[in-house]
Every structure is written in structure tokens, then in C-alpha cells.
């Protein structure tokens, strides 16, 4: 594995702007000089995460999560540090001298073998699509409007009959157990057989582009299951999959949104219309895992489900889930009764693009959806509609939105609905208990804050104190000295990269966002803090000596400890006098 050099990491960090990078993932609210976002690291509903462009760090005031651009991307996407550096580099268009393959550890030979089998399968089935046996498969695809370019792009293939895939892979030396493990072949009583025999195959990849399974369509119209997917395997978990995410990623970032459809053919229809930022979830229900994958692709999730009633109901459920997870959600109002694939085939790519202009906000969609679900000619149903809709309004934080949509409810229902102030109890945040910090802890944090900001404070610390009591404070102090000695400078963002320990990173961001941080260096304050730390240490030393003196000791040891105890008390007295004279 090749490492990304320190210089390159610094180059990426200094070019990347945290507000810019975070806005690729989250919707950022700007209030004056403040940037805030809904925190993705706890169940947040109001924007609790502060993004500080001056310090290039973020900090959540509710859960305490904090860090710099790299740790944000690393924690958000749950990837390694080098991968996060690579992600940020590609976001800002910086070319690293090492390729992602080189710095991404792929150390699991078992998994590598499974990926290899699936890649061989993709190549084999792609090749077979041009065979004599696959003529009808190819005709079918062409009739569906899929040209050779699209077929190649999505690596669509054909798995012939007669277990030819199994025989091919077996001949290449792959074990039956491994083929069974990725579910391209299945052990049965009559031996091992191809799973996707005589089917058109659509390969499925994970978010990193590794192949994990297939969706496959039967050619024979008599086949009872038209589409089948890979069974759950160690690589493939149905509820976790977002089809096409690895191809959609770049364009989704660029466009700031990701389209979510119901099926593989819809995603391909989008591609035919030249729209690359589309994915699907293989089925209409969405899981929380899929929502978190979707939000890692773009700040806004746009649901584009089928126009029929089940499709719209599924869009409502999925969008509601994404909304509850704090995502920025909108929905395409599909009034055609068709799915995106049918629209492109029966009308045109232009018709799909036209429909995508009907993108409405979550609340607009909800009012539209609910007004279709209830019979607004019946008083009782009208009342139910108003109640349901008001529940949604109470979730909105923006007062303008709340007023606007309250009026909308009145307009749609014909009932007079009064604007209500937000029910704060429903939206209240679970506030983190404030930990009571004692005076010594505060003094230590003050020292760290000054050391981060000023070289003089760091020198003073080295010369006059050299240690802090709390282990994580001590670690951070050493990191600050290290940064000052090796780089000559020390920034919160730079320090964050020096530690892979979450608690240290959170400590750095707490200190950097604290009210003392921006203050200029004041030697008097530093002296006071050093004194406080010393008094704490001497106090606990004195206690320890007192304890020892209670034990049974010979006279020599007793005298030795008594001397130390006396020295300790003398020193303590000196600091306390100094403290009192201030």
C-alpha cells in the first residue's frame, strides 16, 4: 500500500474549504457569518452543527462531534483517512500523485477472490450477449431502446443455459464453495447449477464500485419470476443496496442532488436521457441504511417513483424516512401514471426531462399526496386531511414556510386553519448533559487553547509545566508541541489530522470553538492557569503522602516521606500565596 505524502495531505487541506465540502453532503444554512447544518452524527432536527470557515473546522453543539474537512468526510462516509483525503481531493479537483487503488487497503484476500469471481462473471456474460444463443436477448434489449453504448456502460450481459457460466468459472479454478458464496451458482440435490440461467444480467456494485451481485431478467415469458436478484450473501444485502451509486457519485456531487427511482431500468432510462445522477433501491421500500448511503451522495435527495398509486405511496414513505433522518428532500410530481423507463420509451428522453422540472419540496408533495388520499368532499375526511397536514407543518422550522403551508391547507381544504407557533415540546432536542468541569480541567483547557494559538504559550508550557493531568489533555499538549517543532505552525485543522482518536479530535474542536480561543495571548492568564494546574497536582501529591504516613513504616522511610510531604506543602503554600496576591 502506498501512502499519500504529508505534503500532499497539507496541500489538499489548504485548498479545500470546509463550507464548500460539507455543502456537498448537507444543506448549509447561513446566518450572518455563521454556517450551520443539521448534524449527521446524531438524531438532529434543528441545525446544531456549526461550520467555521476561519478555523476550517466543524463542531456540533449537541453531540460534541467535531473535526476538519477530512474527518468530516471520513466519519460521514465511514471510510479510511486516505480515502477521505482522496475524496476531498477529487471534490476540489486536486490531482493526487497516487491513485485510489494504491492507497486503499484491500487486505482481505477472501473478499478479493469473491470480487474476482463476480468480475469474471460480468466479463463472461457481456461476451455471451453477442453469442448466437443470446440473439433474442439482444433483440429484447434493442427493442427496449437500449443501444450498444448503454449496454456496455451498464455491463448488461447474458447468462446462457446449460450451466455454461459454472463450467467456465470451474475451469478457471474457482471452487464450488466460492461460486456458491457469491450466488452465481447454487448447490442443489442434482449438483451445482447457474442461478441466472437464460437471463439478462444487470451487475450491481457497492458504493466503491466493487461488484456484489446481479439483478436478472428472464427471457422466457413463461418464467414465473420476471426479475430475480442475487440472494443475500456476505457481499450482497438487499436492504443495503443503492444501485448505480458508484457511477452516479461524481455527477450527484456536481448537481447537488441525487435522483432515486424504483428500478434498474429507470436508472438506465435516466442515463439514456443524459442524466447520470440517478440510482435505485431495488424495490420500493427504503431502509435507514439506504438513506444514509443516499445522503452521502448529495445534499438533496429527489424521489422519482412511478406515477401510479403504489409508486406515490412508496415515494411518500421513502421521502418521509429521508426527511426524518434530516435530509433535504424533494419529490418529482409524476402525474403520468408511468415509470421513468416507460416515459422515455413511449414518449421521449425530453419528456422525462420535462417531468423532472416538476420537482416540488417535501411539504408541497405531502399536501398533494394527502389531498389525493382523502376525499375532500367529505367533511370527516377533510378534517383528517387537515390534521395530518398540520402534523407535518409542526415539523417545519422556518416560520415563513409554516405560514405559507398553513394557508395552503386552508386553500386546499376550504377550512379556516389558524397559523400556530411551533410546538416546541415536540421539536425539543435531547440536550446533552453539561459535564461539570472542575477548575483544574478548565485551567488545562485554557493552557491548551493558548498553546494552540501562540508559540510563546507553547514555550512557556515546555519550560514551566511540561505536563497536564488529564491524559487526553497531556496527549494534545504533546501533539501541539510536536506540530510547533516539526511544522512551525499549529492550526486546529492540522492538529485534527495528527490524531485518529475521536475524543482528541472532539477536544480540539471544543477548544477551538470556545470563547477563549480567539483572545490574544496574555501571559498573566497563562501564569494563572499554570498555577492552578500545579496547585491541583501538589494537592493530590500531599494527599498521597498523608496516606503513606498512615501505614506501618520504619523510621527511615517515615522520615523520608515526612520530608517530601513538608516540601510539597511548602511549595503548595507558595503557589496559594501567589494566587491570593493576584
| Chain positions contacting Zn ion, by CB under 5 A | 39, 41-42, 60, 62-63, 65
Nearer to Zn ion, 216 or 291 (CB): 291
Nearer to Zn ion, 56 or 506 (CB): 506
Rounded CA gap, 219 and 50, in Å?
A: 54
Closest by CA position to 533, among listed 459, 442, 458, 435? 442
CB of 333 to Zn ion, least distance (A): 33
Nearer to Zn ion, 41 or 303 (CB): 41
CB of 41 to Zn ion, least distance (A): 5
For the four alpha carbons of 519, 529, 435 and 471, in that order, the dihedral sign comes to: positive
Residues whose CB is less than 8 angstroms from the CB of residue 514 and which lie 6 or more positions away in sequence, other chains included = 445, 449
Residues 281, 333: contact at Cβ < 8 Å?
no
Nearer to Zn ion, 66 or 307 (CB): 66
Cell of 122: 460480468
Give the position of cell 498521597.
Answer: 544
Strand partners, 312: none
CB of 505 to Zn ion, least distance (A): 14
Nearer to Zn ion, 41 or 115 (CB): 41
Residue 373: other Cβ atoms inside 10 A: 16
CB of 245 to Zn ion, least distance (A): 25
Nearer to Zn ion, 41 or 174 (CB): 41
Cell of 57: 473546522
CB of 65 to Zn ion, least distance (A): 5
Nearer to Zn ion, 63 or 218 (CB): 63
Nearer to Zn ion, 39 or 538 (CB): 39
CB of 491 to Zn ion, least distance (A): 23
The full DSSP string for 436-474 is: ---HHHHHHHHHHHHHHH-HHHHHHHHHHT---SSHHHH
CB of 42 to Zn ion, least distance (A): 4
Residues 52, 513: contact at Cβ < 8 Å?
yes
Residue 292: other Cβ atoms inside 10 A: 18
Closest by CA position to 403, among listed 389, 386, 385, 418? 418
CB of 449 to Zn ion, least distance (A): 22
Rounded CA gap, 216 and 78, in Å?
A: 30
Amino acid at each position: 500500500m502506498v501512502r499519500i505524502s504529508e505534503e500532499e495531505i497539507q496541500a489538499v487541506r489548504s485548498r479545500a474549504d470546509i463550507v464548500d465540502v460539507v455543502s456537498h453532503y448537507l444543506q448549509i444554512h447561513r446566518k450572518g457569518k455563521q454556517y450551520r447544518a443539521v448534524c449527521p452524527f446524531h438524531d438532529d432536527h434543528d441545525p446544531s452543527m456549526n461550520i467555521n470557515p476561519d478555523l476550517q473546522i466543524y463542531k456540533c453543539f449537541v453531540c460534541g462531534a467535531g473535526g476538519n474537512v477530512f474527518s468530516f468526510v471520513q466519519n460521514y462516509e465511514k471510510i479510511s483517512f486516505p480515502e477521505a483525503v482522496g475524496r476531498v481531493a477529487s471534490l476540489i479537483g486536486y490531482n493526487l500523485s497516487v491513485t485510489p487503488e494504491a492507497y486503499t487497503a484491500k487486505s482481505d484476500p477472501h473478499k478479493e477472490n469473491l470480487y474476482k469471481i463476480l468480475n469474471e462473471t460480468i466479463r463472461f456474460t457481456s461476451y455471451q450477449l453477442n453469442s448466437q444463443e443470446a440473439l433474442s436477448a439482444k433483440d429484447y434489449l434493442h427493442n427496449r431502446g437500449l443501444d450498444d453504448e448503454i449496454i456496455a456502460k451498464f455491463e448488461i450481459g447474458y447468462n446462457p443455459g446449460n450451466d455454461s457460466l459454472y463450467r467456465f468459472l470451474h475451469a478457471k479454478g474457482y471452487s464450488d464453495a466460492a461460486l456458491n458464496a457469491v450466488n452465481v451458482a447454487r448447490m442443489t440435490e442434482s449438483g451445482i447449477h447457474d442461478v441466472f440461467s437464460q437471463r439478462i444480467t444487470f451487475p450491481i456494485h457497492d458504493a466503491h464500485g466493487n461488484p456484489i451481485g446481479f439483478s436478472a431478467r428472464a427471457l422466457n415469458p413463461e418464467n414465473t419470476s420476471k426479475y430475480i436478484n442475487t440472494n443475500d450473501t456476505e457481499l450482497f444485502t438487499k436492504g443495503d443496496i443503492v444501485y448505480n451509486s458508484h457511477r452516479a457519485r461524481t455527477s450527484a456531487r456536481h448537481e447537488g442532488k441525487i435522483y432515486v427511482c424504483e428500478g434498474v431500468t429507470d436508472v438506465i432510462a435516466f442515463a439514456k436521457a443524459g442524466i447520470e445522477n440517478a440510482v435505485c433501491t431495488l424495490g420500493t421500500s427504503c431502509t435507514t441504511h439506504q438513506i444514509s448511503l443516499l445522503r452521502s451522495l448529495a445534499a438533496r435527495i429527489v424521489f422519482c417513483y412511478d406515477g401510479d398509486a403504489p409508486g406515490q405511496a412508496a415515494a411518500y414513505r421513502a421521502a418521509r424516512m429521508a426527511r426524518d433522518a434530516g435530509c433535504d428532500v424533494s419529490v418529482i410530481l409524476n402525474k403520468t401514471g408511468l415509470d421513468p423507463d416507460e416515459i422515455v420509451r413511449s414518449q421521449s428522453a425530453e419528456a422525462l426531462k420535462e417531468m423532472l422540472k416538476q420537482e416540488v419540496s417535501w411539504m408541497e408533495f405531502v399536501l398533494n399526496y394527502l389531498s389525493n388520499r382523502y376525499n375532500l368532499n367529505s367533511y370527516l375526511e377533510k378534517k383528517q386531511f387537515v390534521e395530518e397536514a398540520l402534523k407535518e407543518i409542526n415539523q417545519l422550522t422556518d416560520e415563513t414556510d409554516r405560514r405559507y403551508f398553513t394557508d395552503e391547507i386552508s386553500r386546499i381544504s376550504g377550512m379556516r386553519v389558524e397559523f400556530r407557533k411551533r410546538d416546541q415540546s415536540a421539536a425539543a432536542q435531547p440536550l446533552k448533559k453539561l459535564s461539570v468541569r472542575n477548575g483544574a480541567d478548565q485551567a488545562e483547557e485554557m493552557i491548551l487553547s493558548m498553546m494552540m494559538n501562540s508559540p510563546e504559550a507553547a514555550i512557556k508550557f515546555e519550560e514551566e509545566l511540561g505536563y497536564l493531568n488529564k491524559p487526553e489533555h497531556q496527549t494534545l499538549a504533546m501533539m501541539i508541541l510536536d506540530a510547533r517543532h516539526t511544522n512551525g505552525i499549529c492550526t486546529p485543522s492540522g492538529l485534527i489530522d495528527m490524531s485518529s482518536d475521536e475524543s482528541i479530535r472532539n477536544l480540539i474542536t471544543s477548544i477551538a470553538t470556545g470563547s477563549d480561543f480567539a483572545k490574544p495571548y496574555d501571559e498573566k492568564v497563562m501564569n494563572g492557569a499554570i498555577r492552578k494546574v500545579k496547585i491541583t497536582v501538589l494537592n493530590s501529591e500531599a494527599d498521597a503522602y498523608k496516606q503513606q504516613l498512615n501505614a506501618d513504616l520504619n523510621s527511615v522511610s517515615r522520615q523520608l516521606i515526612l520530608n517530601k510531604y513538608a516540601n510539597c506543602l511548602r511549595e503548595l503554600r507558595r503557589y496559594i500565596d501567589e494566587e491570593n496576591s493576584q
